[in-house]
Homo-oligomer: A and B are copies of this chain.
Amino acid sequence: MNAPHQKLTNFVVSAYNDWHVEEWAGAYPGRILPLAILPVWDVAAAVEEVTRLAAKGVKAVTFPETPYALGLPSFSTDHWDPILKALCDTNMVMCLHIGGAFKLLQRPKEYSIDQHIIMSPQLSAVACTDLMVGGVFNKFPSLKVAMSEGGIGWIPLLLDRIDLHMENQTWNGLDLGGLNGTESFRRNFLGCFISNPSSLLLRHRIGIESIAWECDYPHSDSTWPRSPEILHAELEAAEVSDEERHLISWQNACRFFDFNPFVELSEQQATVGALRARSADVDTTTTSRAEYRRRFEAALSGAST
């Protein structure tokens, strides 16, 4: 994008990735799965970075949900093919974070932040449709895509709609490499949700191996620190079996990202109860900004005396 400094910018991207992979995530093996960034303005450099990262054992890169919204070519062009091929060759996951597609939606000046927050997850369907219907998986059938924080609520409708469209409007000749929409989705995607009680009822329509829970800590959209209780209540309400709970709460993510979480902790040490017992000193009470300011100022004045 900023061509004169492109080499420098690419170097900074690699430096960030090294810090992120080795120092930040590397300090806690099995706990944090690093998510690398790519120099998306320079396809050749991005391919080189994917190869470099793969050699370090990196499993995932983040990518714009809808590159077209950033003024870059869309997924329906061949522009991204070298990067997508490199991701397939190295078995890395492309993570598309919610919200990118929102830039594509023209909004009046009087719309509110509520409208933005509420609509965002519906628009992950745009990114998913662009990839599936745009022919990306016809070229790269092994490409893995995680719809990060995109929720899973739009998936049943999208699959119903694609499958009916392919059956009912055959005159369009849509070809998903011999698969229908449901089969194509389950082969290539992982849906990721924070809270979606209704959609858990449709888990078998989505595909029980295509759903991963996330808690979005420390963002305000998170249900933390009540996340385990809220997830548990949603799983109970949807009568999800124990086997399916394991798939949804960690096994699907670990399989999809080829990630082993049991490096420093065993499975028994990684339960909600065991982890909470280990962190009994952490204050998770709701604290007002005013109280934080008071504590901060008290600490400052204590430090200066």
Contacts and interface: CB of A to CB of B under 8 A. Distances in A.
Contact of A161 (B74, B113, B118): B118
29 contacts: A69-B106, A73-B108, A74-B110, A74-B111, A76-B111, A77-B108, A104-B105, A104-B106, A104-B107, A110-B134, A112-B172, A112-B174, A117-B165, A122-B123, A122-B126, A122-B154, A151-B157, A153-B156, A153-B160, A154-B157, A156-B198, A156-B199, A157-B199, A160-B196, A160-B198, A168-B223, A169-B220, A198-B202, A201-B201
A115 interface: yes
Given A113-B172, A117-B169, 16 more contacts: A74-B110, A74-B111, A104-B107, A105-B105, A112-B134, A115-B134, A117-B172, A118-B129, A121-B157, A122-B158, A151-B161, A157-B198, A160-B196, A160-B199, A168-B223, A198-B205
* Chain A contact residues, majority secondary structure: helix
A81 interface: no
Contacts of A169: 117, 220-221
A33 B168 CA distance: 27
A27 interface: no
Interface of A: 68-69, 73-74, 76-77, 104-108, 110-115, 117-119, 121-123, 125-126, 129-130, 133-134, 151, 153-154, 156-162, 164-165, 168-169, 171-172, 174, 195-199, 201-202, 205, 220-221, 223
